[in-house]
Structure 1
């Protein structure tokens, strides 16, 4: 360490910072975690699913019961917890953040056990492995990002129609954006409905856009769309027409996303923007840089995030 050239070599190669690998959130820590993920991808292949889970403490009546017992030494019923005012719930949560985080961790542990079960939400696709990152949002609540590897999941091959069809069937089997309550209460569906806030707005060419790309494009069926190939070059006139159509579609989406009672069908939506389905798909493909999944989505579902029905019913949060 007394040799200046040796020390400079350590700094130049970042070896001088490796002792910080155990310090969470340090660059060396994240470098180690990145290598772990890359090693998993080399061994297991591309992850099958990306899953996000947030905390919804005010919606979890069981947690409110626990907090009331811990903080006030009082036992309340499930009905009393559900009818408690929002302000009271927030006060309980603020006064015992440790219990809230421990409850969230226990809830996730139970959820992972269900996801790994043969009768779980993946319907015959065994959960082989997972990589989980838990972070804390500005408001202090935990939030989970997870990469999931499923056994026998179909592999996407753009040159194989059968592969594309199997992938679409797999997606429709596990993922939904339906606004119809069916087995689930309307409150659970509302948890997946995006509401614009200052955190999702970004400025692009003097325009304000949602960084999550919401509202989403309605689709008659689930599709995996590819960008135009080199053999499908668009003329200047075609690009101008596509740009004009895109502006009309965005205006219409913005309009219907604000209409709570919107009941348009996909065909009626196309009539409103004066396009046929081929022109509509062509407009979407023109903006793509790589293959992208577009889920089957009615015009009244353009603000709903994708979810797995069984996971949503268990977790009761977005």
Structure 2
């Protein structure tokens, strides 16, 4: 049965459109009626009889078609040889607006909104916590890192949790900002007044309530101001780093993901020898990858900040980094570091600072790896440019192998600074 859900019956466009199996819906409703969150729910008898008649009609039509096909001679050639599936769909569908004329509760007021919205995960049972929204971040972490991966594998539920978490933060910020009013605490009637509302907008009170919501304008503005302040006070950063994950070559991560899905432990060799398609599915379908990258990055960052670590002679005394997500969904980090006693290049007097800067660059940055080094195989496979469709502007460039990045670059005998 084709079902179209609309926000209002008068609308031409639908909100959701999917094929459903009515008998499974009826069985699910019959089972949910006996669960705690659905007690007292009644099934519309008219709807139930309509669905029953519809199922019976489809069954009879299918049986008739099967009997007609069986009566045909085996020697009859089909009109369309090969597959008989087409992209042509029947125009019959059921269209209705289930929430029309109703006033929904806020997800922050309805204590069981998530359990009712996802009966496939909760089965009609509420959470055992008294007030799950009070420590909602801990609830999210517990469910996503649980050995039962149903919550982690359900993408709509992940976005629902994110929405509830952000709404909770905004609601808390609104209450704090209302209490921090310079003159007196505001009430609902004061906000309804247009003059008071204009004054709040002019004072950026509505803008400030998003200061701790990631990627909001207020949050990004605060980060930009802090970064510019660092540059003004500390000067230009010494090193810029980009740290990207290589999940398909992390045997520990692949072993964890494989065990979570198949309940089987495999060795490091077996994990690395998995087909690339299976590795991609394991990584894409589980959010534990982002947590694993975070833990791994924190361990690497401790090594970077350690005075006896990578930058032993020029310890890190200040830094800034930002985590971004690539198109494929994997996180990566952009970082700038300020090192102690690091030379600053002066373009007006390059002859005085050039040698010192080149010495620092050669100390921490290399473009050659010895074949005897354990990093040789990894660098050759992961850090070697391979021409793709983004390298070519036209078909002619592809034929002539003309890369728009001008790769490969000509080798240089020594390091130089391009002005």
TM-score scaled by length of structure 2 = 0.47
How far 1:63 moved relative to its partner?
0.7
Query: 1: CA distance between counterparts of 2:308 and 2:289?
Result: 29
Paired residues for 1:111-260 under 5 Å: 111-158=300-347, 159-178=349-368, 180-183=370-373, 184-198=375-389, 210=404, 214-225=407-418
| Paired residue secondary structure (2:210) | helix
For 1:202 and 1:25, locate their aligned partners in 2 and report how far apart those are by CA, in whole Å.
Answer: 33
Q: Conserved in 1, the CA contact under 8 Å of 2:369 and 2:376? A: no
* Secondary structure of the corresponding residue to residue 310 of structure 2: coil
TM-superposed CA distance for 1:57, in Å, is 0.8
1:179–1:189 CA contact under 8 A, matched in 2: no
Matched with 1:7 is 198
CA distance 1:154–1:189, change in 2 (3 Å):
farther
1:224 aligned counterpart, secondary structure: coil
Extract unaligned runs of 5+ from structure 2.
1-190
Deviations 1:119-140, CA, capped at 9 Å, x for gaps: 4222411011221111111111
Mapped contact 2:319–2:336 kept (Cα < 8 A): yes
1:108 shift after superposition: 0.2
Classify 1:6/1:173 alpha carbon distance in 2 versus 1 (closer, same or farther; 3 Å): same
Give the deviation of 1:22 after TM superposition: 2.2
The structure, 1 or 2, with the larger RCO (C-alpha pairs under 8 Å, 6+ apart) is 1
Unaligned runs of 5+ in 1: 226-290, 292-318
Change (3 A) 1:20 1:213: farther
Corresponding residue SS for 2:302: helix
SS of aligned partner of 1:152: coil
Match of residue 34, structure 1, among 224, 232, 235: 224
CA RMSD of aligned residues (A): 3.0
Separation of aligned partners in 1, 2:415 and 2:212: 44
The answer to whether residue 252 in structure 2 is matched with residue 62 in structure 1 is: yes
Q: How many residues align?
A: 221
> Residue deviations 1:53-100, cap 9 Å, x none?
11111111111111122222222111211222212212211231x211
Is residue 41–residue 47 contact of structure 1 (8 Å, CA) maintained in 2? yes
Which residue does the alignment assign to 1:84?
274
Secondary structure in 2 matching 1:81: helix
- Aligned partners of 2:414 and 2:301: how far apart in 1? 31
CA shift for structure 1 position 194: 2.5
SS of match in other structure, 2:241: strand
In 1: Cα distance, 2:248 partner to 2:230 partner: 36
DSSP-derived class of the 1:71 partner: helix
Q: Take 1:84 and 1:54, find their aligned partners in 2: how far apart are those partners?
A: 21
**Larger-gyration structure (1/2):** 2
Q: State the shift of 1:187 in Å.
A: 2.8
2:370 and 2:376 in contact (8 A); partners too: no
Task: Work out whether 1:45 is the aligned partner of 2:235.
Answer: yes
Structure 2: distance between partners of 1:128 and 1:139: 33
1:155-176 CA deviation, whole Å, 9 max, x = no partner? 1123152421010010011112
Q: Could you say which residue in structure 1 is the equivalent of 2:141?
A: none
* Alignment partner of 1:25 is 2:215: yes
d(CA) in 1 for partners of 2:330 and 2:343? 35
Q: TM-score, normalised by structure 1?
A: 0.61
The 8 Å contact of residues 247 and 283 in structure 2, kept in 1 or not, is answered as yes
Question: Per-residue deviation at 1:19?
Answer: 2.1
